[in-house]
Amino acid sequence: MALELNNYHAKYFYDPVAESFEQGFWDAVKQKKLVFQRCTECGEWSHPPRPMCHKCKCQDMEWVESSGKGKIYTFVIFTREVHPMYRVPYEVVVVDMEDEKVRFISNMIDTDPDEVYIGMPVEVEFVDINDEWPLPWFRKAK
């Protein structure tokens, strides 16, 4: 079993609170696009977003759509429930994105805990968790 939708998603999930410089990320999520921040001057990536490029200090950052492909850098399997929104067991994965120099935290769908390993190729899939919000989850790469 991996993370599955249950009634509590609609009940407990509420709008992420974003700073102005993060808004582009969540606007894109609503459109089922995974985007990351890149500096238009020096090309440095940033996630989570920053108000400016931490390398060259330029404030002109752009949103670039991700290929959605990556490899698992590390992961955990929750086996003890901490919140009813998340029925155990479920996996949290920390993914090194393949085409953007960023790391992204998410969950696995359609994947047994025993199948998950460090280095595993994965790809993003958006799942509607309630009427308003899709979330970028991951599955085994095809």
Partner 1 sequence: MTLKNKACIAGIGSTEFTRNSGRSEIHMAVDAALAACEDAGLEPEKIDGMVRFGSAGQTTCEFTTDADVARCLNLPNLNFYSEAPWGGGACCSTILHAAMAVSAGIAKYVLCFRSLKPASGTVRYGRPTAVPVDSHWSYSMPFGFSSPTSWVAAFTNRWMYETGATNDDLGMIALVCRENAVVNPRAIFYRRPITLEDYYKSPMLCTPFRMHDTCLENDGAVAIIVTTPERAKDLKQTPAYITGVGMGMADDSFCMTSFYRDKIGIPEMKYAGKDTFKMAGLTPKDVDVCQFYDAFTSLVPMQMEALGFVEEGEGGAFVRGGDRIRPTGELPINTAGGMLSEAYIHGMNMITEATRQIRGTAITQIPNVEVSMTTGGLGVPTSALILTKG
Question: Where along the sequence are the contacts to partner 1 (CB under 8 A)?
Answer: 3, 12-19, 22, 26, 47-48, 73-80, 82-83, 85-86, 90, 92, 94, 102-107, 113, 118, 135
Q: Residue 14 Cβ, how far from partner 1 at the closest point, in Å?
A: 6
Nearest alpha-carbon partner for 46 in 58, 33, 29 = 58
Question: What residue type is 29 in one-letter code?
Answer: V
Q: Which is nearer to partner 1, 48 or 140 (CB)?
A: 48
What is the number of other CB atoms lying within 10 angstroms of the CB of residue 104? 21
Q: Residue 30 Cβ, how far from partner 1 at the closest point, in Å?
A: 13
Tell me the HSE value of 42 on the side-chain side, using a 13 A CA sphere: 11
Residues 6+ apart with CB under 8 A from 17: none
Q: Residue 27 Cβ, how far from partner 1 at the closest point, in Å?
A: 13
